[in-house]
Amino acid sequence: MSASAPSPARRWRLDDRTTAVVLMLPPALLLFTLFVILPLLDAGYYSLFKWNGYGAPSEFVGLDNYAQVLGHGIFWQSVRNSVIVLVVSIVVQMPLALLLALLVYRQTPTNAAFRLVFFLPYILAEIASGLIWSFVFDGNTGVAAGMFAALGMKPFFILADKDWAFFAITVVVVWKYFGFHMMIYIAALQGVPAEMIEAGKIEGAGRWQIVRHILIPQIKPALMVSGFFAVVGSLQLFDVVIPLTNGGPSNSTHTIVTYLYAFGLTRLKVGFGSAVGVILFLAAIVVAVAYQRTLNKEAAR
Amino acid sequence: MNFKHFRAAAFLAAFASTALALPAFADTAIKVLRSEPGNEGEKALYQQMVTAYEAEHPGIDVQFEYLSTEAFKQKLPTLLQSDARPDLFYSWGGGVLADQAAAGFLKDITADVATEWADRYSAAGVKAFTIDGKIVGAPINASEVVFWTNLDLAEKAGIDIAAIKTWDEFLAAVKKAKDAGVTPIVVGGKDKWPLHFYYGYLALREAGAKGFADAIAGEGDGFASAPFVKAGEDFKKLVDLAPFQPGFMDTTFEQASGMFGDGKGLFHLMGDWDYGSAKQASVSSKGIDDARMSVLRFPAVEGGAGAADDTFGGLNGWAVSSTASAEAIDFLKFVNSPENLAKGAAAGYYIPATKGTEAGITNPFFKAMSEHLAVSQYHQVFLDQALGADVGATFNDVSADLAQGGVTPQEAAKTIQDAWSMR
């Protein structure tokens, strides 16, 4: 090599690492572009048109679709519903999952059986669980009806009630996903070094103090991750709502995605639906970035 | 690696696969897409027709595909734009068919079938599948929406069904039924379209053919004009009596149909297909005995511009897609021939849109409905189809809101007019 050769630090070498990158990056980038970036750009393009899904979009309306979406009362109702699911996920579902995780994280056969039972709802297909719960809530023949009868009350058709139907949906959401969060916490709890708990016990800490001062701070990363899943999942809630109420009595139980589906796709207003999709995407980005910022601030502390 | 053998093997595999694929190209495939009929028997009937046709025409392969109604409606726009589009597909006509024609997805078969269709089908039927003077399909059946009535419960409540001729008399009967402890009406509110029958029929009685034509043309206040508001008020009078079964907004059409078949309600406002579906969905699979069931035509509304024998219902049929082959059109002529339609009619699946079919129908209810349709001066197609997918869905939503007392009649009419003017 002559003296003018580039320094080793900057010389590009055909070693294993570069080969791996060159081989694996293009397929991943290709798939990501095809299935995420391109549809996103398409949606942005279609949202500027009034289009019924047939042929090519031809009626340019600019930001009209966005104005219609933002002025539609049912859209804001669906945003409200999505926020309700978000809050319930964080305030009800995560603590419940944490509590159960704390109860069953130790490796014993009984705990393994309980873990399986708690995780089962998550494995069930969303549409199937929605259908099952629609029968449970049925005021004539469902389990709920039996409960009301046992309490001596008249049957209450919760899924037919404009004010309470969404409450029923949040119950199903909590039931469906708490197992997933519980598993995350169990994995994290099992990773807490036994010495720390020993040390705590030696110091004379009680059960609750061990939980509060040792276990929870140790599993903070898991809490952050599961919180992120909860937030993103609540923005995307769709499959459970459709079999239960299909948007609900008088469009009162729509979430953003079911709103997009009902008012965009089934009514053949693809431009309108694309506008909703773009708005949802921007909301998701804002939430994700805000979440990461808070996470980083926490980590830096 | 031994590349020599690898290449030979790959070559052989490619050759074998093309060789195996060759026989498939010899058959012309005709793809037919239909929404799930309410009756398993209808599918069997189609299968018989397909077998008969394929026997007479070797080299033709007819494939029937069924999708549930909502899935069918949602998948169709995408399918029609792809190469997998069906040759023939089921259609409820109306604005949706017009949209498909405007987008160029339908074939103009006027030259091929005009005289034949004029001989075979009723004028209204052919008209329903003619867009801008071009025939784009063939009608199968016409349906009328009526009050299916349970005579046992009517007796229990002391109501004389035959005497109900006006809306006020109907309301009085509903009140009487409620006082007697009978659930006056079962309705599938969750699906919303069963509720739009009430509002739609009342609008038909109040506005009549001219009122609808004016509203569609955008004259005056359109759908927010006085007759439509009055129709909403008439509906409100019914809703205020709390006539529906408890939790009606959580009941699907199939469940309501089954409830009627189980004798849980006095009236069920539904089309002719409910005859079969109420039996099928009931607990006993037999529904109500024919002798203990009757059909009540939708009552007249005093002061309304519509005629008392205007009918509200469907005019369904096959639409021909733009790339349909000549063989597909030939199959359409066969499967929709008066003989084959008569078979469906005889089995009680539908009322065919063919000329002079009343003679061939044995079911007394269908016979009566067929006569109603024949004399009706104006047949309003289901509004959630006639007004197009968007305004149609709005009509359904508004009907559901009215049924729950969530909007005033003025607001309801205005919502529809806004949706219509912005479509």
Q: What is the pLDDT of residues B277-287, one digit of tens each?
A: 888 888 888 88
- Chain B residues whose CB is inside 8 A of the A148 CB are none
| B250/A159 CB distance under 8 A | yes
| B250/A55 CB distance under 8 A | no
Q: What is the pLDDT of residues A224-257, one digit of tens each?
A: 999 999 998 999 999 999 888 888 788 899 999 9
Lowest mean pLDDT among A12-16, A75-79, B57-61, B116-120: A12-16
Q: What is the mean pLDDT of residues A24-33?
A: 91
d(CA A65, CA B17): 49
Q: Is the pLDDT of residue A57 over 60?
A: yes
- Chain A residues whose CB is inside 8 A of the B190 CB are 160, 245-246
CB-nearest to B390 from A137, A250, A267 is A267
- The rounded mean pLDDT for chain A is 88
Q: What is the pLDDT of residues B221-261, one digit of tens each?
A: 899 999 999 999 999 999 999 999 998 998 988 889 999 99
Q: What is the pLDDT of residues A179-238, one digit of tens each?
A: 999 999 999 999 999 898 899 889 888 888 888 888 888 899 999 999 999 998 999 999
* CATH number for the domain formed by residue range(s) B146-312+387-421: 3.40.190.10
Instruction: Check: CB of residue A194 under 8 Å from CB of residue A184.
Output: no
**Is residue B247 helix, strand or coil?**
coil
For domain A64-126+165-300, is the CATH number 1.10.10.60? Answer: no
Enter the pTM of the model: 0.81
Q: What is the DSSP letter of A239?
A: T
Q: Please give the share of chain B, as a percent, with pLDDT higher than 70.
A: 92
CB-nearest to B246 from A157, A159, A162 is A157
- Chain A residues whose CB is inside 8 A of the B406 CB are 162, 250
Nearest CA in chain A to B391: A267
- Chain B residues whose CB is inside 8 A of the A55 CB are 81, 103-104
Instruction: Check: CB of residue A38 under 8 Å from CB of residue A46.
Output: no
| Residue B334, Cβ density class (10 Å: 0-12 exposed, 13-18 middle, ≥19 buried) | middle
Count of beta carbons in the 10 Å neighbourhood of residue A26: 10
Q: What is the mean pLDDT of residues B144-155?
A: 94
Q: Does A243 touch chain B (CB under 8 A)?
A: no
The winner for highest mean pLDDT among A81-85, A261-265, B288-292, B374-378 is A81-85
pLDDT of residue B46: 93
pLDDT of residue A173: 95
Residues 6+ apart with CB under 8 A from A203: none
pLDDT of residue B357: 62
Q: Is the pLDDT of residue B309 over 50?
A: yes
Task: Give span(s): CATH 3.40.190.10, chain B.
Answer: 24-142+314-369, 146-312+387-421
- Chain B residues whose CB is inside 8 A of the A160 CB are 189-190, 247-250
Q: Is the pLDDT of residue A3 over 60?
A: no
| A266/B104 CB distance under 8 A | no
Q: Does B239 touch chain A (CB under 8 A)?
A: no
Q: What is the pLDDT of residues B170-181, one digit of tens each?
A: 999 999 999 999
Q: Does A266 touch chain B (CB under 8 A)?
A: yes
pLDDT of residue A104: 93
CB-nearest to B80 from A54, A157, A160 is A54
Q: Does A52 touch chain B (CB under 8 A)?
A: yes
Interface contacts (A, B; CB < 8 Å): 77
Q: Which band of pLDDT confidence, cut at 50, 70 and 90, is reported for residue A7?
A: low
Q: What is the mean pLDDT of residues B304-310?
A: 89
Q: What is the pLDDT of residues B21-78, one digit of tens each?
A: 444 455 789 999 998 887 778 899 999 999 999 999 998 999 999 988 777 887 888 8
- The rounded mean pLDDT for chain B is 88
- Assigned token pair, B38: 């309410």
- Chain A residues whose CB is inside 8 A of the B80 CB are 54
pLDDT of residue B23: 47
Instruction: Check: CB of residue B144 under 8 Å from CB of residue B372.
Output: yes
Q: What is the pLDDT of residues A121-148, one digit of tens each?
A: 999 999 999 999 999 998 778 888 888 8
Nearest CA in chain B to A157: B247
pLDDT of residue B2: 55
CA–CA min distance B390, chain A (Å): 4
Describe chain A by its helix, strand, coil percentages, rounded to 5: 70, 0, 25
pLDDT of residue A255: 95
CB-nearest to A139 from B99, B246, B404 is B246
- Chain A residues whose CB is inside 8 A of the B252 CB are none
pLDDT of residue B174: 95
| Phi-psi label, residue A152: left if phi above 0, alpha if psi -120 to 50, beta otherwise | left
Instruction: Check: CB of residue B310 under 8 Å from CB of residue B124.
Output: no
- Chain A residues whose CB is inside 8 A of the B183 CB are none
| B389/A138 CB distance under 8 A | no
**Is residue B383 helix, strand or coil?**
helix
CA–CA min distance B358, chain A (Å): 37
ipTM over 0.90? The verdict is no
Q: Does A139 touch chain B (CB under 8 A)?
A: yes
Q: What is the mean pLDDT of residues B360-369?
A: 84
pLDDT of residue B10: 55
For domain B24-142+314-369, is the CATH number 3.40.50.10310? Answer: no
Domain limits, chain A: 64-126+165-300
CA–CA min distance B401, chain A (Å): 6
Residues in chain B: 423
Count of beta carbons in the 10 Å neighbourhood of residue B172: 14
pLDDT of residue A214: 87
Residue of B373, B375, B376 lying closest to B310 (CA atoms): B376
Chain B, 127 to 146: residues with Cβ < 8 Å from chain A are: none
- Chain A residues whose CB is inside 8 A of the B85 CB are none
pLDDT of residue B22: 47
Q: Is the pLDDT of residue B19 over 70?
A: no
Q: Is the pLDDT of residue A24 over 80?
A: yes
pLDDT of residue B358: 62
Q: Which band of pLDDT confidence, cut at 50, 70 and 90, is reported for residue A156?
A: confident
| A54/B103 CB distance under 8 A | yes
pLDDT of residue B24: 47
pLDDT of residue B185: 96
| B104/A250 CB distance under 8 A | no
CA–CA min distance B222, chain A (Å): 21
CB-nearest to A249 from B74, B99, B404 is B404
CA–CA min distance A92, chain B (Å): 27
pLDDT of residue B298: 94
pLDDT of residue A133: 93
Q: Is the pLDDT of residue B203 over 90?
A: yes
Q: Please give the share of chain A, as a percent, with pLDDT higher than 90.
A: 52
| A157/B249 CB distance under 8 A | yes
